[in-house]
Structure 1
Amino acid sequence: MIKNSHSYDRVSYVWYFKFYFIFTLINPLGTMPIFMTMTKDLDRYHRTKTAQKASLVSLFTIIAFAFSGQLLFNFFGISVNSFRIVGGVIFFLMGMDMLQARLSTVKVNSSKINTYVNDISITPLAIPMICGPGAITNSIVLMEDAKTIEFKLVLILSIILVVALTYLILFSSSRIIKALGETGNNVLMRLMGLIVMVIAVEFFFSGLKPIITDILNQS
């Protein structure tokens, strides 16, 4: 009985730790302003559809990398640092458009709205915003550290719960968009554009520094 209680406490601790860790890495609260900016010209139905698809794609991607990410990286010769550099470039270009209010000037035609939803829900919302280099890398590490089926199940459930919360947060952004109005959305877009560009620089150099260090060490 004491053994079972100790095992339960340990599983509970691992559950809370992994949930908090994954929630911090995915950071749905940080994704919400960008989601709001990119979907403010969509109606409620297509905004909800975008949130659903972005959440499902990110969930599938994180779980897929958790089980086979290390093998894929080794097979294609891809490093996490290279992934960070590419993510930094994507973030920087997106932040530049947001800072110059280019996203707000893009009006989506009704005939192309489904294509627009599919495009932004995959990139950049699902990858690399929700499912970024940090979430992918640490899901691989956490899965390798989970030696038992019990702990692997805890990790998978933690990922599912965090992505579900991410969807709920993005879904609730519709009310925030309506409350802010046109001026509020434009101000928020420019502020977030600046923040996204700063994140992009951090991503880029956090991936570039180890590569340069390896080159210098080899030479």
Structure 2
Amino acid sequence: MNDWISSFVFFFAVIDPVGTLPVFIAVTSRHAEWQKRKIAIIAVFVATAILLLFLVGGQYLLETIGVPLSAFQVAGGVVLFLFALTMIFGEGKPEQEMEIVQSGHETAIFPLAVPSIASPGAMLAAVVLTDNHRFDPIHQFRTATAMLAVLGIVLLLLLTARWIYRVIGDAGASIVSRVMGLILASVATTNVLVGLQQFFAV
């Protein structure tokens, strides 16, 4: 159960469902309510398909090109740490992706499905948390359910975005993103340390 909770928190931090709300609201500002629901469903569906693809085949791709998972884990941990720092000290996820929206790419696929929901960090998490050399199929299945649970929360938040955003506003979404950034930084550090340990143990 603790492993499931850890995976859930990890995915919640890298996907950042609350931080997606301002992006979704900006993207769908000129759409009718039924269109907003359709966009939310499509975005989450596409993001789920992408993350499941990485969860199932990401490690095989790395092994095919000769990259050990430990090296990928260290590199990914560094990238995640830098991403976490931008969440904490720089522009939060809402501000960054609002700029993408304002550049004219207003679709369910971009920037909602990618990179808002299926972020690079989420893709990395899908690969690292289902390492075939460290985790058995039961653990991998639990990780998949944790990821799907977070995506379910994303869909629920998007479908109720109008009411939620009235309560938290831009400031609330930014605060949540920064808290998630702090959690993500600690997770990224752990990934680097574990990856180094595995790399030098080989």
Instruction: Give the 5 Å matches for 1:81-160.
Output: 95-96=98-99, 102=102, 120-144=107-131, 147-160=135-148
Q: Aligned partners of 2:41 and 2:148: how far apart in 1?
A: 13
TM-score under structure 1 length normalisation: 0.58
Query: SS state of the match for residue 143, structure 1?
Result: coil
Q: Aligned partners of 2:65 and 2:32: how far apart in 1?
A: 40
Partners of 2:51 and 2:118 within 8 A in 1: yes
Between the aligned residues of both structures, percent identity stands at: 23
Instruction: Give the 5 Å matches for 1:1-219.
Output: 12-72=1-61, 95-96=98-99, 102=102, 120-144=107-131, 147-175=135-163
Q: Aligned partners of 1:77 and 1:37: how far apart in 2?
A: 42
Distance apart, 1:21 and its partner CA: 1.0
TM-score under structure 2 length normalisation: 0.62
Unmatched runs of 5 consecutive residues or more in structure 1: 1-11, 85-90, 107-115, 200-219
Q: Tell me the C-alpha RMSD between the 2 structures.
A: 3.7
Instruction: Name the structure 2 match of 1:217.
Output: none
Q: Aligned partners of 1:174 and 1:152: how far apart in 2?
A: 35
Higher helix share: 1
Distance apart, 1:67 and its partner CA: 1.3
Partners of 1:62 and 1:136 within 8 A in 2: yes
Larger Rg: 1
What whole-Å deviation, never above 9, does each CA across 1:91-126 have from its counterpart, x for those lacking one? 99954466xxx57xx8xxxxxxxxx9xx61111111
4+ residue runs over 2 A deviation: 70-81, 91-98, 174-177
Partners of 2:130 and 2:143 within 8 A in 1: yes
Q: Aligned partners of 1:73 and 1:123: how far apart in 2?
A: 26
Partners of 1:70 and 1:140 within 8 A in 2: yes
Instruction: Name the structure 2 match of 1:88.
Output: none
Q: Aligned partners of 2:21 and 2:38: how far apart in 1?
A: 15
Distance apart, 1:76 and its partner CA: 7.7
Residues 93/18 of structure 1: CA separation in 2 closer, same or farther (3 Å cut): closer
Residues 124/73 of structure 1: CA separation in 2 closer, same or farther (3 Å cut): farther
Residues 96/26 of structure 1: CA separation in 2 closer, same or farther (3 Å cut): closer
Distance apart, 1:147 and its partner CA: 2.1
